[in-house]
Structure 1
Amino acid sequence: MEIFAIIMGSMGGVSAVLTGLFAYFGNLRLEKYKSELQLANAKIKSLTDTSSHISKTQFDKEFTIYQEIWVLLVDLRSKTLTLRPVMDSVDPNESEDDRIQRRLKDFGESFNAFRNGIENNKPFYAHAVYEALNNVFGLCYEECVDYQYKSPGWSKEYWEKSRENNKNIIKAIEQCCEKIRERIESLAVVE
């Protein structure tokens, strides 16, 4: 019986040592496996990351372009919507033709400045933003043509078309705003 107790005792000691060794090496293997998984997850995350990584200089340049274009866009909106204002005050000493020409001149200056702003900077900002800005450009041009070449008189259709154009222009400008915001939010500056 003593031999049995000695064998069992030594087996228990060996068992404890073996259990410790298995735990140690198992833990090492588990830690290695966890680090491999973390590395794989980091690679996958970098591949699926939707943000663009750019330098601070490039970000600052693009941001400045958006600021400049936005100022031009707000001015263009103002000049376009005042071509056919719903509530108008007129100078009795100014003829209708003079008023039309004055408004078209003001619109033309703003329109040309906006066109130059979006075209001169086109390679330096996002294509989706350019497309949205170009849509506004087209809508403002259409409003100018409708105003400039109207039929004589002030028909109900004339004012309905004006209201429709104004709504479309304002909606398109809001879409530009969202495209600019989305672009800025999608950028990640790399230092």
Structure 2
Amino acid sequence: MDWNTILETSAAVIVSFGGAGAIIAGVTKFAADKIADKLEKKYELKLSKELESFKSKLENRSYVSKTRFDAEFGIYRQLSVTAVTMVKEISQLFPRFTRDARNDYETYKGRYDSALEKTVVFQDTLAANAPFISEEVYLLFRNLEEKSKRQLGDFIDFRLRPDANDYVMECKEEYKEVWRRTQEIQSDLDTIIQKLREYLATLEVL
């Protein structure tokens, strides 16, 4: 078979398939379809991952109206302010870093009256807002209130009663406990504030 015959046969095959342009177009389309299919699958995988991530973020957030957010924010702000003020006053009854052993009734009575006043304010604030806060947060605040009231009661025994010095000698372990409780109260307040901060961060205003 000579070259002329080969060329003629090749030309006939190409023409029978629609010419060289058709063959090239067919090959190009096949390759393009393969690439498009791979890109589509890759994009679907990426989109699926992004969707799962978005759904996870949605599940970890609570969506509330601006009115409700403002109301909750106001309640927690009010409770925090009165709690901080109470703890500040209560901490002065048995301060962590100084132990005042003076027998100064007037000074002690002034501290007691101020701490009692701030505790009553917090007590009333918590009671008034109890229906509008979660049970968990309420119980944390309630525990803080109870510990503060215990400090007030112990302060009467260890500082204000006429035989306070004798009572201290009789109840040495209880006396040590009141100093430790001051630190507990301060730590409890820090925990509450942190929990409120975390909770408010989960709220998304609609």
How far off its partner does 1:54 sit?
Answer: 1.5
Specify the alignment match of 1:189 in structure 2. Answer: 205
Specify the alignment match of 1:53 in structure 2. Answer: 63
Equivalent in 120, 125, 150 of residue 112 of structure 1: 120
Q: What secondary structure is seen at the aligned counterpart in 1 of 2:194?
A: helix
Cα distance in 2, alignment partners of residues 160 and 91 from structure 1: 18
How far off its partner does 1:5 sit?
Answer: 4.0
Scaled by the length of structure 2, what TM-score is found? 0.70
Cα distance in 1, alignment partners of residues 47 and 143 from structure 2: 45
Specify the alignment match of 1:71 in structure 2. Answer: 81
Query: 1:42-94 deviations in whole A, cap 9, x for unaligned?
Result: 256324541212122222221111221111011111221222344559796xx
Structure 1 pair 39/127, CA: closer, same or farther in 2 (3 Å)? farther
> Is the CA contact 2:94–2:182 (under 8 Å) kept in the aligned structure 1?
no
- Percent identical among aligned pairs is 22
Q: What secondary structure is seen at the aligned counterpart in 1 of 2:164?
A: coil
Mapping of residues 10-49 of structure 1, within 5 Å: 10=17, 13-22=21-30, 23-24=32-33, 27=36, 30-31=39-40, 34=43, 38=47, 41-42=50-51, 45-47=54-56, 49=59
Q: CA RMSD in A?
A: 3.4
Structure 1 pair 181/16, CA: closer, same or farther in 2 (3 Å)? same
Cα distance in 1, alignment partners of residues 81 and 52 from structure 2: 41
Q: What secondary structure is seen at the aligned counterpart in 2 of 1:121?
A: helix
**Pair 1:124-2:132 in alignment:** yes
Structure 2: unaligned runs, 5 residues or longer: 1-5
Cα distance in 2, alignment partners of residues 138 and 19 from structure 1: 82
Cα distance in 1, alignment partners of residues 127 and 47 from structure 2: 45
**Pair 1:3-2:9 in alignment:** yes
State the structure with more CA Rg: 2
> Is the CA contact 2:144–2:189 (under 8 Å) kept in the aligned structure 1?
yes
> Is the CA contact 1:132–1:179 (under 8 Å) kept in the aligned structure 2?
no
Specify the alignment match of 1:171 in structure 2. Answer: 187
Which residue identity does 1:139 align to in structure 2? K
Equivalent in 72, 87, 90 of residue 80 of structure 1: 90
- Higher RCO (CA < 8 A, seq sep 6+): 1
Structure 1: unaligned runs, 5 residues or longer: none
